[in-house]
Amino acid sequence: MLGNFEYHNPTKVYFGKGALENLNEELKNYGKTVQLIYGGGSIKKNGIYDAVVAALHACGKEIVEDGGVMPNPTTEKVLEGAAIAREHAVDLLLAVGGGSVCDYAKAVSVSAYCDGDFWQKYYVDFEDPTCKVIPVACVLTMVGTGSEMNGGSVITNHKEKRKIGHVFGSDVMPKFTILDPTFTYTVPKRQMVAGIYDAFNHICEQYFSGEDDNVTDYLCEGLMRSIVVSSYKAIEDPCDYEARSNLMWAATWALNTLLDMGKETDWEVHMLGQAVGAYTDETHGMTLSAVSLPYYRHILPYGVKKFRRFAVEVWKVEEKGSDEEIALKGLAALEHWMKDLGVAMNISELGVTPDMIEGIAEATRVMDGGYKVLTHAEIVKILQESL
């Protein structure tokens, strides 16, 4: 049974080939100074930077450059960006890139005018912003995180060896987001498949919880099937528009505040993956894939009905044998697909060594919405099985 909820997603989406042409019209709603936020330079190579700058100039905006946002953005970089935003009294933070760039823009949005330590306030104490928040908008170039239409912002603190996400409210979510699937054609294959697995896992995190039959389960199963089908097409031809557009929209819906309405969610794979990320600085989707199967095999006995349903509805496993046998066949099908994608299948290949396990386990937040609240010993066991 769905619990009560209030639903409101304020992000306006422009989707499709040429969607960037809507930028000019949107920019009219904001003041003169725009902080142009981007990553390590991919947008300068593929022409997206020039197109965005042309739109900003056409609208008479003053551009304050803020490039060099790294994958897994850091606390130091957020402080740098917040100082830029304050100094220039920017009116809009325009993130042009993937999840890292968009997450970083949200962190800058709530930190520029924050009194005190933004890390402690938002990422340790999970407080809501009480200061002025700068509007954020997004031009997405890499599919996976859903950051383009949600309030999530994940920041890495290398000193403390912690990678933590805060889900901010609607005032921090992008005001508008531009999704042109052709912008993703140049994403390297390793990043593309990591993003595909990330999106798929966002759905798993919201699916593997609860015992009820509700509308969300059906939405999840449809989205998962669509991602699997499109993933094969995109691997074969990175410029397959149908596949790229399906992946882009499915990934947005995978984490745009819809699927978790009125139901419990898990998110333990993400907590494990983020802790691995804090120690390795590895690609987010790979940190998830590397721990997923040991985790799901561990919790399967506590949620066997749902894992059985996953096997039958998502992977079309024949309904022969015990519930547990069918459920395990579903995880075998998931494993097969992950290997076809080419995502990381263990944490050793991401640079984790046995001596890191205790620290990673310590950095793993324990969630209580899934099928099993993990003990520290169980976390250590899952990480050891992931090696």
- Chain residues that interact with ligand NZQ, rule: CB under 6 A: 39-43, 46, 71-72, 97-101, 103, 141-142, 144-147, 150, 152-154, 165, 183-184, 186-187, 191, 195, 198, 255, 270, 284
Q: How far is the CB of 361 from ligand NZQ (least distance, A)?
A: 19
Judged by beta carbon, residue 101 or residue 204, the one nearer ligand NZQ is 101
The whole-angstrom separation of Cα 134 and Cα 107 is 10
Q: Which does 255 bind (CB under 5 to 8 A by kind): Zn ion, ligand NZQ, none?
A: ligand NZQ
The whole-angstrom separation of Cα 270 and Cα 292 is 9
Q: Which does 111 bind (CB under 5 to 8 A by kind): ligand NZQ, Zn ion, none?
A: none
Judged by beta carbon, residue 273 or residue 303, the one nearer ligand NZQ is 273
Q: How far is the CB of 287 from Zn ion (least distance, A)?
A: 9
DSSP letter at 183 equals: G
Q: Which does 81 bind (CB under 5 to 8 A by kind): ligand NZQ, Zn ion, none?
A: none
Q: Distance between the two ends of the chain, CA-based, in angstroms? A: 38
Judged by beta carbon, residue 144 or residue 303, the one nearer ligand NZQ is 144
The residues with which 348 forms a beta bridge, in sequence order, are none
Q: 329 vs 161, 239, 268, 310, CA distance in Å?
A: 36, 32, 22, 10
Q: Which does 72 bind (CB under 5 to 8 A by kind): Zn ion, ligand NZQ, none?
A: ligand NZQ
Judged by beta carbon, residue 99 or residue 303, the one nearer ligand NZQ is 99
Task: Name every residue whose Cβ is closer than 8 Å to that of residue 182 and which is 6 or more positions away in sequence.
Answer: 17, 239, 241, 244
Judged by beta carbon, residue 101 or residue 382, the one nearer ligand NZQ is 101
Q: How far is the CB of 287 from ligand NZQ (least distance, A)?
A: 8
Strand, coil or helix: 312? helix
The whole-angstrom separation of Cα 252 and Cα 246 is 10
- Residue number with the smallest Cβ distance to Zn ion: 198
Judged by beta carbon, residue 191 or residue 386, the one nearer ligand NZQ is 191
Q: Which does 256 bind (CB under 5 to 8 A by kind): ligand NZQ, Zn ion, none?
A: none
Q: 239 vs 51, 242, 247, CA distance in Å?
A: 20, 9, 12
Q: Which does 303 bind (CB under 5 to 8 A by kind): Zn ion, ligand NZQ, none?
A: none
Q: How far is the CB of 273 from Zn ion (least distance, A)?
A: 7
Are 342 and 194 in contact by the 8 Å Cβ rule? The answer is no
Q: How far is the CB of 294 from Zn ion (least distance, A)?
A: 18
Q: How far is the CB of 145 from Zn ion (least distance, A)?
A: 6
Q: How far is the CB of 349 from ligand NZQ (least distance, A)?
A: 18
Interface with Zn ion (CB under 5 A): 198
Judged by beta carbon, residue 191 or residue 246, the one nearer ligand NZQ is 191
Give the residue carrying structure tokens 């987001």.
177
Q: How far is the CB of 317 from ligand NZQ (least distance, A)?
A: 27
Q: How far is the CB of 321 from ligand NZQ (least distance, A)?
A: 34
Judged by beta carbon, residue 270 or residue 306, the one nearer ligand NZQ is 270
Q: Which does 254 bind (CB under 5 to 8 A by kind): Zn ion, ligand NZQ, none?
A: none
- How many CB atoms are located within 10 Å of the residue 359 CB? 13
- How many CB atoms are located within 10 Å of the residue 58 CB? 11
Are 140 and 199 in contact by the 8 Å Cβ rule? The answer is no
Judged by beta carbon, residue 11 or residue 201, the one nearer Zn ion is 201
Q: Where are the alpha helices (DSSP H) in the chain?
A: 23-27, 42-45, 48-58, 75-87, 99-111, 118, 189-207, 215-236, 241-254, 268-280, 284-299, 304-315, 323-341, 357-362, 376-386
Q: Which does 204 bind (CB under 5 to 8 A by kind): Zn ion, ligand NZQ, none?
A: none
Task: Name every residue whose Cβ is closer than 8 Å to that of residue 317 and which is 6 or more positions away in sequence.
Answer: 311, 326, 329, 330, 333
Q: Which two tokens stand for residue 69?
A: 């946002």
Q: Which does 294 bind (CB under 5 to 8 A by kind): ligand NZQ, Zn ion, none?
A: none
